[in-house]
Amino acid sequence: MTHHEMLDCPNCGKRTLHVRPSTSHLLHFFLSILTVGFWIPVWFIIGQRKQIKDECTECGGKVGWFGSSSGGNKSSKPTPETHVKCPDCRELVLKEARVCKHCHSKLIPQ
């Protein structure tokens, strides 16, 4: 299960969709009953660990309780060697791309 939320990404510098893994509490409740309570500490650890970081869908960077952390392409800014402008929407896309990720028009790789 996942939770989606629009957040300001410090890696991208813009407001993007972030995905947060969520815990299935019903499943953990039944596992706790089946194991006579031995699953409760595992349930607590999994619940705390998974809710710490939201992953940006644009850059892959993770935003936790204490700000930005690993992931993201903060250092890989678009350059003329790696990106070109789409002829239809004028957005930057990778040179190797076959389809524009913004307007879905077909591109001719250069």
State pTM to two decimals: 0.38
For 27-32, the CB contacts below 8 A with 24+ separation are: none
The confidence score (pLDDT) of residue 70 equals: 47
Which residues make beta-bridge pairs with 3?
A: 20
User: Tens digits of per-residue pLDDT, 20-69?
Assistant: 767 778 888 999 999 988 988 888 887 776 555 677 777 766 665 445 45
The confidence score (pLDDT) of residue 74 equals: 44
Which residues make beta-bridge pairs with 84?
A: 93
The residues spanned by each domain of the chain are 2-68, 78-110
Tokens of 98: 């076959």
